[in-house]
Every structure is written in C-alpha cells, then in structure tokens.
Structure 1
C-alpha cells in the first residue's frame, strides 16, 4: 500500500478496499442467497434451503454462508458504504437503517422475533456495538437476543492501552493501518495523528470522567507487561481538541455509553485475539458489561491475530486460531437456545 501510494498509483485505503472486494463467490447448494436493497442500502440475504420446523434466527456477520449453514439461520449482510469514499456517520447509519428495516419485516423472511442476533467482525463489530445500543431507543422493535462482537474497535481515545503498545506491528492490523483508518473514518486530517496517539485532544475533565472505563487499570494484570509507556493522556492541546473532539461521541466510542444504557444491552459473546492491537477494547467492554450485570461469554484466542477468522476456509492459509474463532461463534449461537 505504501509503495503504490508513493508511486501515485492508488492510496492505501483504496488498496485495502480492493483486497476486501476480490475473491470468487462460491455457491452453496444448501443456501438461497438473495441480493436486494433496503432503500438505498444494498444487503445480501442468506437463507438455508432445508425446511425448518421452527422460525430461524438471524445474525449479521461477514462469514455469512458458513454461519447460515452451521447455525440454521437467516443471515442479513449489510453492504454499508465503506472507506475511503465514506466515513462517519454514514457507515453506522447504513447499518442502523438496514437493521431497523429488517426488524420491522422479520416475518417476511421467516425469522423468529425473539431470536435475532446482532453480529460483526472488526469494523463490523464496532458498528454492531453502536447499532445494538441505538436500538434500545426503538422500543417498538423486537429486542435483540444477543450481540456477537469479534475483535471490534470500540474507542479511538486511549492509544496507550497495553495491546496497542505490545502488538502495533502485528499483521493484519498494524498501528499505521489502524491510524490511517481512524483518520479516514472520522474525517480527521492525518497531520493530527500524533496528537490523537498522545491524547493531546482529550480535555482533562473528559479524561477524569472516562478513565474509569478507558484506563489500562481496567485491563487484567496478566495482559499488562513491564516497560510500557506512562499512562495516557499527554499535555492538552485545544487546537487538537477542536479538530478531533468527535472521538468522544458515543457513536464513535460505544465504550463511553452511560451505565443505564450498558445495563439494558442484550447478553454478549465477545471474541478477542492475544496478538491484536484491538484486544484491549474487547477487554474494556467485557468489564463494562459485566459491571452492569449483562451476561458475557468471552472467547480469547491465545494464538489469534486481527482478521484471522476470515481465513477459516482459505487453505493453506487457514490457521488453528481461525477455526477456533469461527467454531466458537457457531457454538455460542447454537447454544443460546
């Protein structure tokens, strides 16, 4: 990506988008796959062909075919508008609008309203967390049965967390790629990247309010190693705050939701990877949910790395961690009934 950018062939975000989009779509004889639109939002619906004696549940997940087949579920995949052409709030708004439309029409797709699961991986996991919180304001819609969040980004505030310092050079999500994504997603000029990393745009009173949820002290000791940099944040810079203050919006940091919001959330299945720069976002959210009495099932993949679940069927590049992660998700969904 850096080489192509220097040659002025294409930008790194454009290359990442291309890599996400390539690949052969394999037809599964056991599934019916339908492309449609909810208004202007493209969605893809995965439905098992075999007749079922009960209404099937639904889950949102990038590995839709596998999940639909292995969990006997109707799966809706939202084709939200992506980086680098679109940024906040378009991405989460597309997911929210598609989810609302689908929840209003569950009977059309044979979905039991009491068995809907919200699911997402990486950026999709962050969007799933935001949408799950936003749906609490829609009491007229069916309540979600559970949320499944796989290595989600849940804040762009504290970059001094142990996992960020320990794994900033681990593929597929390095510090450089992550910060590029943060700036693009939040439409912040990259000249402010260093200020974001140091927390210079976080007012002292805001950090005093949120450190009870975002501090490294909330990470279990076994994930903290000696030699890490001092606790965040750096000296406050008002200009940096004015340029980056939307990192404190709940829509960009579901970790900052009020206790009363967190307490109403459905039970959660959280997947974290040891060698992932985002590992500690999941650990912080786990603590927030548990502190408010929300049931949490946690799967920590010791040899996992960001995005490894996407390789579960990509032989010979499939890792044991890939299979452990996807099988854990399937097992959880099948087991919550």
Structure 2
C-alpha cells in the first residue's frame, strides 16, 4: 500500500507504509516538515508570489544555529586563485604535518543556504578544531551554505567519533586545516564555472599547502551532493598532473556523478521523496547549463532523448541497472527504454556528457589513477544508484573504496544530525568522519 501526499503541485511523495512505520517519529516529522515546505514553495511559485528556493531559504534562516566565539580557532576569509574560501585551523602552529580538507558544498550548483545557513553547515569540521565547549560555529561566518553541521563536532582525537557528543565539552588536540570554498553559482555563472573554481583552488592549495602548515600529501577533497560531483570531477582532473601531490583521498557524500540516465531504480523509487525530488534534481542539473526554466526540455531529458545512439551503447556498460545489486530493485522499478534520440535536445545539453558533469562515464584510464574513495549513499535518495555505480567503476579499476549505505537515510540527511533526533544523520557523519581521520 502507498501513501500519496498530494497538493496543488501534485503528488510529492510516495512511500510504502511498512517503510514509514520503520522510521522513528522524529524522522517522519522531518519528512513532513520538508514536504510541507516544498509544497508551499511550489504553490507560491506557481502563483508568481515568490520562488520555491526563496521560501525554503527563508525558512532556514528563521532557524539559525547559535554562534559562539572560539579563542582556540583561527578563522579567516582568503582567496585561492581568486576563489573565496573560509579557512579554519587551530591557532597553535604546525611544523607542516597537518591534514588538510577542501570542502565543496552542495546545493544543486545554485544554492548555498537552501536548507541550513552556512554557520550550521560548517559545524561538523569546526568542532574538530575546538578545545572546549559545545561545537558551535563562529558568528564570523556569513550565511552562505553548507552541510557541515555535525562534522566538526565529531572530528576529535580522543575516542571514537560520536556525533551524539555534540553538546558535551571535550578537549581536542586535532591539527587539521579546513578550507570551505564559495564557488560561483548558477544560473549567474554556468558550467564549468563551479568546477573550474574548485579545480583551480585545489591546485593552488596543493601547491601552497606547506604555507598553511599542511602536509601537501595529506589533503582530502570532500563534498556533498553537487559538491560530491565537483569532488569527483576535481579528483579526475588531477590524475595526470605531475607538478603537484596527488590528493590523499576523495569523499563523496550522496554525490551527483551522472546526468544521463534519470530512470535508474533509485530515480523511479524515490522520485517524490524529499529532500530531492526528481523534478528538482533535473532542474538543478539543467540550470547548471543555463536550461533550468525549460520544463519541456526537462521531460525530454528525463526520458533520455538527449542521449545519442553511440553514447547509449558506450555508456550502457557503466550505467546499466544490471550493475546495481538486486536488493535495490525489489520493488518500485521497471526497466526503462530511452525515448527516440532528439538532436535538438542533445545540442542544448551535450555538456552533460563531459566528465566534469558526469564523472561516472570517464574513461578507465582515468579511474585507474584516482585516489582512494569514500562514498555515502542513502536508501531514500534519487542519487543512491549513481553512488553505487561509481563505487563499482572505482573497484573495477583497482581503487580502494569505503562505502557506507544509510538504509533509513534520505538526501541531505547529514544536515539534520544536530537539529533533530536524527540518528541516521549521526551515523552518516560518524562514518565519513572516521574515514577522513584514518585516511
């Protein structure tokens, strides 16, 4: 049996009752709250009152994270090759052995504060650099983005990282350096602007890491959602560079790694599940190319009309649902045949096939040279299967992969780990924090 939540915008979410009953009450409240926000946003957007993203952004700002001065933490706004970055590091000097983390935020290449203000989303990493007190972000941060809100709290030197310790004072002796990029956003800055910003800033940091007390061979690149796409793209672009150290690892948190097939099992099963509905995913990806407002084009891309016959044949070995474990195809999935090729559609969106947009379809010669990876996927997320497919491509090419799947998670789950009783968000953060700590 299915529950259909219907509003002026149509059916927003279909989730089986048995799956709903298995979720904690608090998680259901999160789903309902976000579904309501999406519904209201779509309604006022159709009425021409305001944009959906504008409403959700406002709701986020109405629930800000408290800030606190941190005498142990040095923060500063800098520029890496002209790209604005916010850096965080302990005030204590380092002889050059620090680990460095480059973080690329999510938000559909368009948003930086869609769900949670910048202050909240950086708090995962910041807590790792604190010496005492509850892990709360500096009020020097400007509202901008991110999904870092628990990371800082759990990157600690003593004992296993537990996000549940968020409000427990502790002593830390971590010597990490964190750089959070504010890359250019669409539609004002179209592809490949965001990718180029992340690539250029990362190259700069790898070249100058020692100036910041960081070991240049201990730099991890990390991102969530669209930021995961940028992370994968940057990692691939660096494989042939001989003049800079190779990144130590890449961390992909429910990443976008392909913009080709929108009928994978997870897209069909979770098309109406917040926080990333399929129509929103299509909008963000096409908006990145400057085609965000053409809903007719969206439908054609969703049906596969943009994929030429030769590329369908080439990509089938990497995008086939046969590569996805059967456990993810038990219900809610029917094999899909792409619609007839439309050259006009292809010409408008052909950049989707380039590796920085769809790193999943890069050549094997690139994959073989990639650094070890961590991939986080969530069961109730349209992007679930592409994370699984990316894992397979890495493993098929001999790259070490740590995969963590949140069976009761949904897209954006890590943003809620310190705001509600969201155990799956805490587990997700604990997992990738541990990976970075041990990398």
Range class of TM-score, shorter chain? over 0.9
Identify which range, 221-230 or 147-156, moves more after superposition. 221-230
Q: 1:199 to 1:34 in 2, by over 3 A?
A: same
Identify which range, 197-206 or 257-266, moves more after superposition. 197-206
Determine helix, strand or coil for the equivalent of 1:144: coil
The partner residue of 1:38 within 70, 80, 84 is 80
Give 1:220-231 correspondences, 5 Å limit. 220-226=325-331, 228-231=333-336
Determine helix, strand or coil for the equivalent of 1:169: coil
Q: 1:142 to 1:325 in 2, by over 3 A?
A: same
- The alpha-carbon deviation at position 121 of structure 1 amounts to 0.6
- The alpha-carbon deviation at position 51 of structure 1 amounts to 5.4
- The alpha-carbon deviation at position 271 of structure 1 amounts to 0.5
Q: Does residue 26 of structure 1 match 2:67?
A: yes
Q: 1:20 to 1:289 in 2, by over 3 A?
A: farther
- 1:211-230: per-residue Cα shift (whole Å, max 9, x none)? 10011111111111245233
Q: Return the alpha-carbon distance in structure 2 between the equivalents of residues 211 and 17 of structure 1.
A: 38
Q: Return the alpha-carbon distance in structure 2 between the equivalents of residues 21 and 39 of structure 1.
A: 30
Q: 1:156 to 1:65 in 2, by over 3 A?
A: same
Give 1:139-288 correspondences, 5 Å limit. 139-188=242-291, 189-226=294-331, 228-288=333-393
Q: Does residue 291 of structure 1 match 2:332?
A: no
The residue that corresponds to 1:304 in the other structure is 409
Q: Return the alpha-carbon distance in structure 2 between the equivalents of residues 35 and 10 of structure 1.
A: 32
Q: 1:100 to 1:90 in 2, by over 3 A?
A: same
Determine helix, strand or coil for the equivalent of 2:426: helix
Question: What runs of 5+ residues in structure 1 fail to find an aligned partner?
Answer: none
The residue that corresponds to 2:100 in the other structure is 58
Q: Does residue 117 of structure 1 match 2:159?
A: no
The residue that corresponds to 1:9 in the other structure is 49
Determine helix, strand or coil for the equivalent of 1:81: coil
- 1:55-113: per-residue Cα shift (whole Å, max 9, x none)? 11111335544225125321110001123432211111111111111111101111011
Comparing both structures, which one devotes a greater share of its residues to helix? 1
Q: 1:8 to 1:271 in 2, by over 3 A?
A: same
Q: 1:12 to 1:209 in 2, by over 3 A?
A: same
Q: Is the 8 A contact 2:81 2:204 kept in 1?
A: no
The residue that corresponds to 2:140 in the other structure is none
Q: Return the alpha-carbon distance in structure 2 between the equivalents of residues 174 and 58 of structure 1.
A: 34
Q: Does residue 79 of structure 1 match 2:182?
A: yes
The partner residue of 1:133 within 225, 236, 239 is 236
Q: 1:243 to 1:19 in 2, by over 3 A?
A: farther
Q: Is the 8 A contact 1:59 1:74 kept in 2?
A: yes
Identify which range, 227-236 or 280-289, moves more after superposition. 227-236
Identify which range, 247-256 or 76-85, moves more after superposition. 76-85
Determine helix, strand or coil for the equivalent of 2:346: helix
The residue that corresponds to 1:98 in the other structure is 201
Q: Is the 8 A contact 1:219 1:280 kept in 2?
A: yes
Q: Please identify the structure whose Cα radius of gyration is greater.
A: 2
Q: Is the 8 A contact 1:119 1:149 kept in 2?
A: yes
Q: CA RMSD in A?
A: 2.1
Q: Return the alpha-carbon distance in structure 2 between the equivalents of residues 288 and 37 of structure 1.
A: 34
How many residues end up aligned between the 2 structures?
A: 334
TM-score, normalised by the number of residues in structure 2 = 0.72
Q: Return the alpha-carbon distance in structure 1 between the equivalents of residues 69 and 389 of structure 2.
A: 38
The residue that corresponds to 1:48 in the other structure is 90
Q: Is the 8 A contact 1:162 1:225 kept in 2?
A: no
